[in-house]
């Protein structure tokens, strides 16, 4: 091959043109040969699209293309050999060869077509790599068996549950191949969200074995419903459930309403891996949340000549200004691992703010580690339906928002660790006890104290347990039943059951509260609290309100209800009357428009917050 001339790309013509590679047939040891040709995406010619992991970026292998050599990575070389047919050619689109990767302008232009490319493919060919431990067929056969089990139980829920419980009793080793399948790098690539998330059928190839993507997704959806079994075997089936048809527009009103926000989609993909931080945004430019609804987002083009900060700022500004629903989902996804403290020396603090790569109100997708509280489908309505009232001073990148200052934080905990509320009687001091004592200033758990000392208000312990679980009993971090949809006594029973079991023999739980625990499921509250509170801080305001907020919040921060925000927000007072956005929060007693009601009754005033 080395004696042949190197392949040189010619510039693509204007319009919806891509390059299609025809792989010539060959045997297992034959050199790779093919032909690259221009293709108009508006025509009806058939092709398949390849999805794979780049791996080592060095191009150490070659393919003879148009009688010239073209270098490619080892992973793509293996993928092409796997999908090459023995007796007939195969027409494919594959990014590494179909795009001139050394031309920034072409890369930017072709990214705009990628969703259309995968959407229009006759099939997506997913190459997972080599099956070095010879376990692919075991994994795929287990999936086929599970699919049959769940299919048999579709019309009989009792049958399905019995068979699923039987599956749980099987040896863990039997599940190991499936566990390793889901752990393969392909499943967390940022680009696969649009590559596999369309209506196009897909086949997964792992070594010499293959399996239908729809079958895998169907099994994953069923396994995700059985939380205990999924956790028992360490199966990350939620990653697969997330991917399924993620780029397909809902086919009826209200279905998958949480997918109508680009910022929410970027948040949900935070676990996905990438090499270029700009691809966190560019990989989603084909999503229908961009194409429809927000004209400012529809105008965004992938541009690899822009810095990461320019890309992140631009998408946040457009998402805020063009949001047809006038919501603050863009601010809800902001997460700061750290923020300058206002208790620092003034000049030093200003220096720290100046050194921040982005304004505090712009999500930095390089530092994203928690779920959000204001899920688009949640029932929280701190704004009472009042739309966002905002503008942006572009010259200084200051966001101006109308809202209400409600309270000031007086005490804050350290960040709550993951699984802090797992039921574990071996621990000497539980978080549920220490937060109650150190932040709320109480010792016993009983029904005597009322929240905010309001004789007609909620029990203080109810407000406490509800705040730690963000007001919901979760079935998954993005799918929760909120307390407005649940009988109050049923909800209270879950938290009371946890307190009764966790603090047994301590004398800290009153007999009346123990009675509330009858029929309660402590694990429901545990799951909800671990999902909501992990990586967040618990606090109390000057007026006694309980707050579950960002881990960066601290004493002196301001709790506000901003118009357009489903959740209240924590702001940090700064120089010249400006504020830093710390993040969203849950505040018991403010989640159903209570602050807006006070405003309308003339009890409090609205103001403009300048956020830098």
User: pLDDT for 371-405, tens place per residue?
Assistant: 889 887 788 999 999 999 999 999 999 999 999 99
User: Contacts from 575-581 at CB under 8 Å and sequence distance 24+?
Assistant: 575/346, 575/350, 577/610, 578/398, 578/610, 578/611, 578/612, 579/609, 579/610, 579/611, 579/612, 580/339, 580/340, 580/353, 580/360, 580/611, 580/612, 581/331, 581/334, 581/360, 581/361, 581/399, 581/611
Whole-number Å distance between alpha carbons of 559 and 572: 9
User: pLDDT for 221-246, tens place per residue?
Assistant: 887 766 555 555 566 666 777 787 77
- Assess whether pLDDT exceeds 80 at residue 320: yes
Over residues 539-549, the mean pLDDT reads 98
Over residues 169-174, the mean pLDDT reads 71
pLDDT more than 90, % of the chain: 61
The larger pLDDT score, comparing residue 533 to residue 164, is at 533
- Assess whether pLDDT exceeds 80 at residue 481: no
Render 2-42 in DSSP notation, one character per residue. Answer: TTSPBP-PPPPPSSSEEEEEEEPP--TTSPPEEEEEEEETT
Over residues 194-200, the mean pLDDT reads 89
- Assess whether pLDDT exceeds 60 at residue 477: no
* Nearest in space to 124 (alpha carbons), one of 28, 216, 7, 223: 216
- Which pLDDT does position 253 carry in this prediction? 47
CA 211 from chain centre, in angstroms, equals 26
Whole-number Å distance between alpha carbons of 521 and 413: 27
- Assess whether pLDDT exceeds 50 at residue 167: yes
- Assess whether pLDDT exceeds 50 at residue 497: yes
Confidence of residue 486 (pLDDT cuts 50, 70, 90): low
- Assess whether pLDDT exceeds 60 at residue 580: yes
* Nearest in space to 96 (alpha carbons), one of 121, 119, 71: 71
Q: Count H helices, E strands: the chain? A: 24, 20
- Which pLDDT does position 505 carry in this prediction? 84
Q: Which of 5-9, 45-49, 167-171 is least confident?
A: 167-171
Burial tier of 399 (Cβ tally within 10 Å: 0-12, 13-18, 19+): buried
Render 277-346 in DSSP notation, one character per residue. Answer: TTHHHHTTTTSHHHHSS-HHHHT----TTS-HHHHHHHHHHHHHHH-TT---HHHHT---S----TTS-H
Confidence of residue 155 (pLDDT cuts 50, 70, 90): very low
Q: Please, what's the b/e burial string for 342-379 (b: 16 or more CB within 10 A of its CB; e: otherwise)? A: beeeeeebeeebeebebbbbbbbbeebebbbbbbbebb
Over residues 198-210, the mean pLDDT reads 95
User: pLDDT for 421-446, tens place per residue?
Assistant: 887 665 557 899 999 999 999 999 99
Q: Please, what's the b/e burial string for 250-274 (b: 16 or more CB within 10 A of its CB; e: otherwise)? A: eeeeeeeebbbbbbbbbbbbbebeb
pLDDT more than 70, % of the chain: 87
Determine the straight-line distance between the first and last CA of the chain, rounded to whole angstroms.
58
- Assess whether pLDDT exceeds 50 at residue 312: yes
Mean pLDDT for the chain overall? 87
- Which pLDDT does position 169 carry in this prediction? 61
Q: Which of 37-41, 344-348, 532-536, 591-595 is least confident?
A: 344-348
- Assess whether pLDDT exceeds 80 at residue 472: no
C-alpha dist (Å) from residue 207 to 30, 53, 195, 213: 18, 14, 20, 16
The larger pLDDT score, comparing residue 270 to residue 586, is at 586
């Amino acid at each position: 091959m080395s004696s042949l001339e190197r392949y040189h790309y010619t510039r693509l013509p204007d319009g919806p043109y891509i390059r299609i590679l025809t792989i010539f047939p060959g045997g297992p040891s034959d050199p790779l040969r093919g032909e690259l040709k221009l293709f108009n995406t508006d025509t009806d010619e058939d092709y398949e699209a390849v999805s794979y992991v780049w791996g080592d970026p060095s191009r150490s292998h070659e393919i003879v293309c148009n009688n010239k050599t073209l270098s490619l990575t080892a992973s793509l070389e293996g993928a092409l050999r796997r999908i090459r047919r023995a007796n007939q050619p195969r027409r494919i689109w594959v990014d590494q060869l179909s795009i001139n990767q050394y031309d920034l302008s072409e890369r930017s232009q072709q990214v705009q077509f990628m969703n259309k490319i995968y959407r229009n493919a006759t099939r997506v060919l997913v190459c997972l790599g080599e099956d070095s431990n010879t376990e692919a067929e075991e994994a795929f056969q287990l999936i086929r068996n599970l699919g049959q089990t769940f299919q048999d139980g579709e019309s009989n829920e009792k049958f399905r549950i019995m068979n699923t419980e039987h599956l749980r009793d099987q040896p863990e080793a039997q599940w190991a191949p499936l566990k390793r399948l889901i752990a393969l790098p392909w499943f967390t690539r940022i680009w696969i969200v649009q590559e596999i998330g369309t209506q196009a059928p897909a086949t997964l190839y792992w070594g010499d074995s293959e399996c239908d993507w729809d079958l895998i997704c169907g099994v994953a959806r069923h396994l995700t419903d059985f939380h205990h079994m999924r956790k028992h075997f360490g199966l990350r089936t939620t990653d697969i459930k997330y991917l399924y048809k993620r780029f397909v527009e809902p086919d009826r009103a209200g279905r998958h309403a949480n997918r109508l926000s680009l910022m929410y989609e970027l948040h949900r993909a935070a676990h996905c891996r990438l090499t270029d931080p700009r691809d966190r945004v560019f990989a989603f430019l084909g999503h229908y949340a961009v194409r429809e609804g927000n004209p400012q987002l529809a105008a965004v083009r992938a541009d690899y000549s822009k810095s990461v900060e320019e890309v992140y700022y631009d998408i946040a500004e457009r998402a805020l200004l063009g949001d047809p629903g006038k919501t603050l989902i863009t601010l809800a996804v902001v997460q700061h691992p750290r923020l300058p403290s206002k208790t620092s020396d003034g000049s030093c603090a200003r220096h720290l703010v100046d050194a921040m790569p982005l304004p505090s109100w712009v999500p930095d997708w390089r530092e994203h580690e928690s779920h959000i509280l204001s899920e688009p489908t949640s029932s929280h309505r701190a704004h009472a339906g009042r739309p966002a009232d905002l503008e942006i001073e572009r010259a200084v990148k200051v966001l101006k928002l109308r809202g209400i200052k409600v309270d000031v934080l007086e005490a804050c905990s350290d960040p709550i660790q993951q699984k802090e509320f797992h039921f574990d009687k071996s621990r000497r001091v539980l978080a549920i006890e220490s937060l109650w004592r150190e932040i709320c200033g109480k010792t016993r758990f009983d029904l005597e104290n009322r929240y905010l000392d309001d004789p007609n208000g909620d029990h203080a312990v109810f407000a406490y347990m509800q705040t730690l679980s963000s007001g919901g009993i979760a079935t998954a971090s993005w799918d929760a039943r909120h307390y407005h949809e649940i009988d109050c006594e049923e909800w209270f029973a879950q938290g009371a059951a946890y307190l009764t079991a966790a603090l047994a023999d301590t004398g800290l739980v009153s007999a009346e509260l123990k009675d509330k625990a009858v029929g309660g499921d402590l694990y429901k509250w545990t799951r909800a609290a671990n999902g909501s509170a992990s990586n967040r801080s618990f606090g109390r305001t000057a007026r006694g309100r309980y707050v579950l907020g960002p881990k960066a919040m601290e004493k002196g921060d301001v709790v506000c209800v901003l118009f357009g925000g489903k959740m209240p927000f924590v702001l940090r007072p700064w120089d010249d009357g400006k504020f830093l956005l710390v993040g969203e929060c849950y505040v018991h007693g403010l989640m159903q428009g209570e602050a807006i009601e006070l405003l309308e009754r003339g009890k409090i005033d609205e103001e403009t917050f300048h956020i830098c």
